[in-house]
Amino acid sequence: MNTISMFVRGLVVAALATPLSASAHVTLPPGGATAGDNYAAAFRVGHACSGARSTTGITVRIPEGFSVQKAEPRSGWTLATTPGSVTWRAASAGAALPDKERAEFVVHGRLPAQPGTLWFKVLQSCDVGSADWAEVPVATTDKPAFPAARLDLLAPGVAAVEVRDAWVRTAVEGQSGTGAFMTLVAPSGARLVRVTTPAAGIAEVHEMKMQGDVMRMRAVAGGLDLPPRQAVELKPGGYHLMLMDLKKALAPGETVPLELEFVDRAGRKAVAKVQAPVRARAATDAKDAGSSAHRH
């Protein structure tokens, strides 16, 4: 499967999938990882089991193809590994993870070389009861109550970066430049080094900086760094993509294709393709922030 067909398939999935609530479930950060790479699988726990007050244990069942290198210990918890699983257990009631407090349980390993989807089944034990996050959706429309943690394994050249809520500000006829905005998350870290779009002759990563008491913008030297698993927001007044030498007016309802080029921590180039809707201002309602990233 080539990059283009993966891209098209991703768009179809994007139209069907509903966004996962970040606070629910046990999840891996979206954005995926490059097949065959070393990967720090950081399982996020954001709440206890239904009706429980705290999480007392986490067992990750290791899917076939993922070879564990090590699991990160957690203070006050025991850590046990078998060939097929990693288990953290609170050594005392006081060390248990309170409901609504977020934590990450991290397993380092090597990913299988074949692009696709990897599902990690996670058993969450609580002071009362347990939740087995182990259901694997069969169709893209399936929304299981207890989904396993999903990891997209990407072909080389496809950026392991989640692009969220992308939009481009409207431009009237004759206007030379405008801004593009979005949220970027790179689970394994990356650097945004280049932007291209058929809508503009020049596209640059800019930042706003106070110079004396004047706000000025300038190109970010060396590209925009995305630390692992941290959301970096490009928004009016902050980092943004500057589209210059516009080819035509941009009216609400239109879509601007953007190609974002990243360099990962190993120095490899990869691309994310984004269809960014044109709007007059940031969407206040997250539900109609209808950007489509290159997958999900």
Biggest alpha carbon distance in the chain? 67
Q: Given the structure tokens 């067992």, which residue do they identify?
A: 59
Residue with Cβ nearer Cu ion (45 or 195): 195
Cα distance between the two ends of the chain: 17
Residue with Cβ nearer Cu ion (242 or 256): 242
Q: For residue 217, list its beta bridge partners.
A: 208
One of 217, 220, 249, 263 touching Cu ion (CB under 5 A): 217
Return the range that interacts with Cu ion (CB under 5 A); candidates 9-17, 242-250, 268-276, 279-287: 242-250
Residue with Cβ nearer Cu ion (42 or 242): 242
Residue with Cβ nearer Cu ion (206 or 295): 206
Structure tokens at 274: 């984004």
The answer to whether the CB of 195 falls within 8 A of the CB of 203 is: yes
Tell me if 169 contacts Cu ion by CB under 5 A.
no
Determine the size of the site formed for Cu ion (CB under 5 A).
3
Tell me if 206 contacts Cu ion by CB under 5 A.
yes
Q: Is 69 exposed, middle or buried (0-12, 13-18, 19+ CB in 10 A)?
A: exposed
Return the range that interacts with Cu ion (CB under 5 A); candidates 48-56, 77-85, 120-128, 215-223: 215-223
Residue with Cβ nearer Cu ion (62 or 203): 203
Residue with Cβ nearer Cu ion (99 or 207): 207
Return the range that interacts with Cu ion (CB under 5 A); candidates 7-15, 33-41, 51-59, 210-218: 210-218
Report the C-alpha gap between 56 and 63 in whole angstroms.
Answer: 23
Report the C-alpha gap between 27 and 150 in whole angstroms.
Answer: 7
Neighbours of 291 (CB within 10 A): 21
Tell me if 103 contacts Cu ion by CB under 5 A.
no
Q: Is 14 exposed, middle or buried (0-12, 13-18, 19+ CB in 10 A)?
A: middle
At position 96, the amino acid (one-letter code) is A
Return the range that interacts with Cu ion (CB under 5 A); candidates 18-26, 67-75, 186-194, 239-247: 239-247
Interface contacts to Cu ion, rule CB under 5 A = 206, 217, 242
